[in-house]
């Protein structure tokens, strides 16, 4: 491939050279018309001559329309000079100008050929695994840390997340305490959650609380446009952090670097990912450096990043619930004059992220300012709410009717999951966070229970509203996939070898069982639904308490 490119470079260079010579010929060629002395006299008599230039061995005569030339020996220069001033121009000046132009063009061509050839050699070297890219890559400014002024008090809500991260902060502030008991903390902590929930702000707050240097890099910036710069950038980042330890490295949008390696290979990104894995393996857990990373697409990350010893601790940031939204709104309105019922406003902003709430408050303040108000009121929020919802990025938000449908749907899932002992962290109107199985081998009954939880929401909605809604499409599709996996890959149908008919029959039977369970426990489901409408989220303990009290 490099030989073919070099051949193409030579062909392009030859074509450019031909074009340069042709252009120079057009510039230097004599385009004047040769005439006799008698014809020149006629032009002089008719007063058509506008300029006369002598450039041996010709006399050049210009009229308003044409340029003529006459041999100097054939003209009476004294006679002609009395009527028209004769300018004298040396022939060699034009030749020299042409030569200079040709030389400049050739130099430019040589520079282009050198650049293309050097690029081919660099790419060839990279393919052979050479490390010369570190020395030939463009120079970069040294990485410098910042000191974060953000504290946990500046991040409203997310109390569970803060609690999970306090251990990291304490380790950075008092490393000796952990070394004394030979305690090793995770090298990497992955902040996962949808866009706008405040992952970057939370990372800055950790650095601010720990009072340590903060090295920020985005995954997109690490994967540079220059070939070979990604691995070098990662190496320099870790070296700088080690020198400044204790310190925090924060890699935003790490999925840009750590995307799972598959059939669609990208050599540059894979080289950068390999360098990141190497660096994380290369520093000890007591080095005083903690790597934080953020992503909203954790399912796309390479498994090597998530194995023990790297990003083995994951902290999930969800969309804020009603209590968190109230705290966030209170923080954003703290320095603004307002007359708003924060509780009611928090209830009306289901599905808004922290970033969306910030935008909502800012837009409401602008709306009040445009109308000459001194205080922001509910009318301002009502006026801009739809603009924020349907703006550049669609923000999930429910009407009162949709909120009821979603509460019924999620109450069915929470009830069945609790009854069948399917572990979950939290089930809410906006999000569902099930606990992943911590082992490879699972039983048929465990898989059946998980499938029933996926079907429970649709069964509850059909039982109450006598029809289905689009909110259950994802769970239904996953349930179908899991049933097929059960009967085909695991051989866990009633027959050893089962097909599509067996999967469909099993799915129908499971749906019927879930529907009977919900009908039997309808009073419990209603209580869970009311809890969700009030609190938006329910955990296992709350659901078990409701189940014990009513059953």
- Taking only the tens place, the pLDDT of each residue in 430-448 is 777 676 654 556 788 888 9
For 120, phi then psi, to 5°, come to -65, -40
The CA angle 221-225-228, to the nearest 5 degrees, is: 95
pLDDT of residue 1: 45
CATH 3.40.50.300, the chain: domain bounds: 152-316
CATH number of the 2-94 domain: 3.30.720.210
pLDDT of residue 255: 84
Whole-angstrom distance, CA of residue 386 vs CA of residue 195 = 19
Whole-angstrom distance, CA of residue 42 vs CA of residue 225 = 69
Is 417 a residue whose pLDDT tops 90? yes
pLDDT of residue 392: 38
The per-residue pLDDT for range 353-367, each reduced to its tens digit, is 888 888 889 989 998
Span of 128-137, 240-249, 368-377, 537-546 with lowest mean pLDDT: 128-137
Is 404 a residue whose pLDDT tops 80? yes
Closest of 71, 52, 62 to residue 31, by C-alpha: 62
CATH 1.20.58.760, the chain: domain bounds: 400-550
pLDDT of residue 112: 65
* Averaged pLDDT for residues 12-29: 65
Span of 39-43, 50-54, 59-63, 494-498 with lowest mean pLDDT: 494-498
Task: Specify the 3-state DSSP secondary structure of 314.
Answer: strand
What residue has token string 């304490």? 170
The per-residue pLDDT for range 46-99, each reduced to its tens digit, is 777 888 888 777 888 888 778 888 887 777 777 777 777 877 765 545 555 656
Contact 57, 72 (CB under 8 A): yes
pLDDT range class, residue 125, cuts 50, 70, 90 = very low
The per-residue pLDDT for range 304-352, each reduced to its tens digit, is 888 877 887 888 888 888 888 898 899 889 888 988 988 888 888 877 8
pLDDT of residue 129: 41
Whole-angstrom distance, CA of residue 308 vs CA of residue 304 = 9
Whole-angstrom distance, CA of residue 62 vs CA of residue 52 = 6
Element of type H or E holding 24: helix 2-28
The per-residue pLDDT for range 181-230, each reduced to its tens digit, is 777 777 888 998 888 888 888 989 998 998 989 998 887 777 664 556 77
Whole-angstrom distance, CA of residue 72 vs CA of residue 69 = 9
The per-residue pLDDT for range 137-151, each reduced to its tens digit, is 444 555 778 888 889
Q: Does domain 152-316 have CATH number 3.40.50.1110?
A: no
pLDDT of residue 416: 95
Whole-angstrom distance, CA of residue 320 vs CA of residue 398 = 14
Sign of CA dihedral 29, 35, 39, 40: positive
Mean pLDDT is highest, among 143-152, 446-455, 531-540, for 446-455
Whole-angstrom distance, CA of residue 273 vs CA of residue 261 = 9
Whole-angstrom distance, CA of residue 503 vs CA of residue 307 = 34
Closest of 467, 436, 458 to residue 518, by C-alpha: 458
pLDDT range class, residue 525, cuts 50, 70, 90 = very high
* Averaged pLDDT for residues 253-265: 72
Whole-angstrom distance, CA of residue 75 vs CA of residue 38 = 9
At the topology level of CATH, where does 400-550 sit?
A: Methane Monooxygenase Hydroxylase; Chain G, domain 1 (1.20.58)
Is 457 a residue whose pLDDT tops 90? yes
The CA angle 190-196-202, to the nearest 5 degrees, is: 45
Q: Which CATH class is domain 322-389?
A: mainly alpha
Whole-angstrom distance, CA of residue 345 vs CA of residue 73 = 101
What residue has token string 């007063």? 47
What residue has token string 């997109």? 220
Report the percent of the chain where pLDDT is more than 90: 14
Q: Which strands sit side by side in the sheet containing 86-88, from one edge to the other?
A: 33-34, 67-71, 58-63, 49-55, 86-88
* Averaged pLDDT for residues 232-236: 84
Whole-angstrom distance, CA of residue 288 vs CA of residue 168 = 10
Is 393 a residue whose pLDDT tops 60? no
- pTM for this entry: 0.55
CATH 3.30.720.210, the chain: domain bounds: 2-94
Contact 63, 43 (CB under 8 A): yes
Q: What is the dihedral of CA 361, 293, 317, 210, to 10 degrees?
A: -80
pLDDT of residue 2: 46
Cα dist. 198→159, 349, 471 in Å? 13, 17, 26
> Strands (DSSP E) along 64-156, which ranges?
67-71, 86-88
Please give the DSSP secondary-structure letter assigned to residue 146. B
């Amino acid at each position: 491939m490099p030989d073919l490119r070099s051949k193409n470079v030579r062909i392009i260079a030859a074509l450019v050279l031909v074009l340069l010579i042709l252009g120079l010929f057009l510039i230097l060629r004599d385009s004047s018309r040769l005439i006799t002395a008698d014809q020149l006299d006629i032009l002089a008599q008719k007063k058509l001559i506008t300029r006369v230039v002598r450039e041996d061995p010709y006399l050049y005569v210009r009229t308003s329309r044409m340029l003529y030339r006459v041999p100097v020996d054939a003209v009476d220069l004294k006679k002609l000079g009395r009527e028209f001033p004769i300018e004298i121009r040396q022939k060699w000046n034009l030749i020299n100008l042409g030569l200079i132009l040709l030389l400049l063009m050739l130099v430019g061509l040589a520079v282009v050929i050198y650049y293309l050839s050097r690029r081919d050699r660099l790419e060839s070297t990279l393919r052979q695994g050479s490390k010369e890219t570190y020395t030939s890559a463009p120079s970069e400014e040294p990485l410098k840390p910042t000191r974060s002024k953000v504290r946990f008090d500046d991040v409203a809500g997310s109390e569970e997340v803060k609690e999970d991260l306090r251990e990291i902060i304490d380790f950075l502030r008092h490393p000796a305490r952990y070394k004394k008991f030979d305690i090793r903390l995770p090298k990497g902590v992955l902040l996962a959650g949808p866009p706008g929930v405040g992952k970057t702000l939370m990372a800055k707050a950790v650095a601010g609380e720990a009072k340590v240097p903060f090295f920020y890099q985005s995954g997109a910036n690490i994967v540079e446009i220059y070939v070979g710069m990604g691995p070098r950038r990662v190496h320099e980042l870790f070296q700088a952090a080690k020198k400044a330890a204790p310190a925090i490295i924060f890699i935003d949008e790490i999925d840009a670097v750590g995307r799972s390696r598959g059939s669609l290979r990208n050599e540059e990104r894979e080289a950068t990912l390999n360098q990141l894995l190497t660096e994380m393996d290369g520093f000890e857990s007591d080095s005083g450096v903690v790597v934080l990373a953020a992503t909203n697409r954790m399912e796309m990350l390479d498994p090597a990043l998530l194995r023990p010893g790297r990003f083995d601790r994951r902290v999930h940031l969800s969309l804020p619930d009603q209590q968190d939204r109230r705290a966030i709104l209170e923080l954003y309105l703290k320095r603004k004059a307002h007359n708003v019922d924060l509780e009611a406003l928090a209830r009306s902003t289901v599905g808004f992220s922290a970033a969306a709430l910030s935008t909502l408050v800012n837009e409401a303040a602008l709306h009040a300012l445009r109308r000459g108000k001194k205080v922001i009121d509910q009318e301002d929020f009502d006026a801009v709410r739809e603009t924020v919802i349907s703006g550049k990025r669609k923000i999930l938000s429910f009407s009162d009717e949709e909120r009821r449908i979603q509460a019924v749907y999620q109450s069915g899932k929470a009830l069945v999951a609790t009854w069948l002992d399917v572990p979950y962290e939290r089930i809410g109107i906006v999000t569902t966070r099930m606990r992943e199985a911590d082992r490879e081998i699972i039983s048929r009954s465990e898989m059946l229970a998980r499938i029933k939880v996926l079907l429970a929401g649709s069964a509850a909605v059909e039982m109450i509203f006598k029809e289905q809604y689009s909110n259950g499409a994802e769970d239904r599709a996953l349930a179908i996939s899991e049933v097929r996996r059960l009967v085909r890959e695991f051989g866990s149908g009633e027959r050893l070898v089962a097909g599509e008919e067996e999967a469909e029959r099993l799915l129908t039977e499971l749906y019927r069982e879930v529907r009977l369970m919900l009908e039997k426990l309808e009073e419990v489901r209603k209580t869970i639904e009311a809890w969700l409408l009030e609190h938006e989220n329910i955990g296992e303990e709350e659901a078990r308490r409701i189940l014990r009290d009513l059953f």
